[in-house]
Structure 1
Amino acid sequence: MPVSSVESTIDAGFAARHAELARGYGGGGDPQDPALVQAMQMVLHIPKDVPPERNALLAAAAAAVVALCLDERVGAGGDWEDRYLTWKRSRIRKVARRARGAQWLAAQEVDGVTVEFGGAQARALVPGPVGNIDPRIRRLQIGGTELPSGEPGLIVPEYPGLWVDPELGMSVGKAAAQVGHASMLLAGALPVREARDWAASGFRCGVAEADPERWVRLQRRVSAGSAVAVRDAGFTEVAPGSMTVIAVPGGR
């Protein structure tokens, strides 16, 4: 089927949201008032008794972020459009917080998108200024919990894979923000038809740590244009310009 015929079957609203994502993000500097700095709050569900496996939680976080960015409510005339675009077009940040029990249930009442993968749950919230965070979210702790990586092999060839550089020693919260950046970049880089297919899967993806040999191969793919990389701004934990996550499309 010709590309034009395929693309004509894609919902115009989804195509417009994808086009916005494909334009990239950032570009604007921080406002003079620190309280107006824009950030996406991410809530990671980490029960005390049975905590999730680290990479499954990161996969849920990555999927939640891209699901929000392509949600119809961030599109033209949507309830979240202004808040989303204000964040996306500024110097964006993501802040991961942990929750359990009643805290997690309360987070579901704040505008956002929740994704569950492999028993792990994460919620990406509609961005806004850091000086006006919902009290139910502001009280949640940032960091402080580490999780076991579990068994490798969460990368399924049919779905996008997000490879993390373990040499950087990122915390769960930092890594969650980085895979969220990666899922946004990858979705924007995909042709709209492939992005729509990914959306139909619930933005299923895999997260794993790359050994040094694989990391070198992945970097070559970035140079060749068949993968995308996140380079951190260096606000926390890692040096500016560090390549933290490399994302590859599914089926390749």
Structure 2
Amino acid sequence: MSSDDIPEPLPATASADPFRPEPAARDEAPQFVLPLVVRLEKTDPPARTDALRTAARAVLTMLSDERSLGDGEWARAMRDWEDARIRKVVRRARGAEWRKACALPGITVTGERAEVRVFPPVPLDGWPKELAKLQVSGTELDDPEPPPVPDRTGPVLWLNPALDMSAGKTMAQAGHGAQLAWWELSGAERTAWREAGFPLSVGVPEAGHWRELTVSGLPVVRDAGFTEIAPGSCTVVADHPALRRRP
């Protein structure tokens, strides 16, 4: 299924930090999308949790890349994207399709076995032909073995235990959660996370723990409801140690 998800705008109290633009005109601004492509070979697909972690790290890598900042070559596209909704679309590729995708400007991030390539934002109707023809559907993945217990001493992206989402949609949601955490961190906290290689865990909490997380003050992704789930559904809570310590 489609994974072009749009979280709610930031609250009106958002700061003037360049990573957190004022939300007033988000819906009126031209809309862009951050493309992500997951390598999905028929005979060797990655585990679902590995793909989720890798997609989140790919988003963080794009956000922090020098080409995305200041006068970098991708900075204008990043600003245009962040001034609207932080929309992401996950597509899949294999074989020659993957090789063609890798020839386009972007960044490939690897996990244990997963490979995800993230590209600078493009207009909703302006996808490069090499990416536009890639399939959105079919990103069904599972975990052959039970995924590791999330490391609560580090960043954790907690997934709503009551929702049933495709792997592609969940990858996009994990990316949203990582981005909301990034926006909340100070410059020093961002630098420390980046220099550590963006470690993070993905987990599904018990129902009671999920309820506590959603009212804890941590960043929460709320889906716009265009695909798969109802509008306003809370999909991810971004639980970063630096954010837990704040009053």
TM score, norm. by length of structure 1: 0.83
Q: How far is the alpha carbon of 1:158 from its aligned partner?
A: 4.0
Q: For 1:128-177, what per-residue CA distance to the aligned partner results, in whole angstroms no more than 9, with x for missing partners?
A: 11222111111110022311134132522343110111321111111111
One-letter amino acid matched to 2:161: P
Q: Please point out which of 170, 173, 196 is paired with 2:168.
A: 173
Aligned 8 A contact 1:26 1:89 in 2: no
Q: For 1:181-235, what per-residue CA distance to the aligned partner results, in whole angstroms no more than 9, with x for missing partners?
A: 11110011122212111101221211122221221221232xxx2x211011112
Aligned 8 A contact 1:28 1:89 in 2: yes
Give the equivalent residue in structure 2 for 1:78.
Answer: 72
Q: 1:98 to 1:166 in 2, by over 3 A?
A: farther
Q: Please point out which of 222, 226, 233 is paired with 2:224.
A: 233
Q: How far is the alpha carbon of 1:25 from its aligned partner?
A: 6.5
Give the equivalent residue in structure 1 for 2:92.
Answer: 98
One-letter amino acid matched to 2:147: P
Q: Please point out which of 57, 79, 89 is paired with 2:83.
A: 89
Moved more, 105-114 or 160-169: 105-114
Aligned 8 A contact 2:36 2:117 in 1: yes
One-letter amino acid matched to 2:209: R
**Are positions 1:29 and 2:27 aligned together?**
yes
Kindly indicate which of the two structures has a greater share of residues assigned to helix.
Answer: 1
- Aligned Cα RMSD in Å? 2.1
Q: How far is the alpha carbon of 1:98 from its aligned partner?
A: 0.7
Q: Could you tell me how far apart the structure 1 residues matched to 2:52 and 2:155 are?
A: 13
Q: 1:166 to 1:26 in 2, by over 3 A?
A: farther
Aligned 8 A contact 2:161 2:210 in 1: no
Q: How does 1:20-169 map to 2 (within 5 A)?
A: 20-23=18-21, 27-30=25-28, 37-149=31-143, 150-169=145-164
Q: 1:53 to 1:186 in 2, by over 3 A?
A: same
Aligned 8 A contact 1:23 1:188 in 2: no
Identity in percent: 36
Q: 1:94 to 1:153 in 2, by over 3 A?
A: same
Q: Could you tell me how far apart the structure 2 residues matched to 1:118 and 1:59 are?
A: 10
Aligned 8 A contact 2:177 2:236 in 1: yes
Q: 1:243 to 1:107 in 2, by over 3 A?
A: same
Q: 1:246 to 1:124 in 2, by over 3 A?
A: same
- SS of corresponding position for 2:78: helix
TM score, norm. by length of structure 2: 0.84
Q: Could you tell me how far apart the structure 2 residues matched to 1:153 and 1:26 are?
A: 40
Aligned 8 A contact 2:173 2:221 in 1: yes
One-letter amino acid matched to 2:140: E
Q: How far is the alpha carbon of 1:24 from its aligned partner?
A: 6.8
One-letter amino acid matched to 1:136: E
One-letter amino acid matched to 1:245: V
Aligned 8 A contact 1:98 1:142 in 2: yes
Where in structure 2 are there 5+ consecutive unaligned residues? 1-15
- SS of corresponding position for 1:20: coil
Q: Could you tell me how far apart the structure 2 residues matched to 1:49 and 1:26 are?
A: 47
Q: 1:121 to 1:62 in 2, by over 3 A?
A: same
Q: How far is the alpha carbon of 1:52 from its aligned partner?
A: 0.6
- SS of corresponding position for 1:21: coil
One-letter amino acid matched to 1:190: L
One-letter amino acid matched to 2:222: R
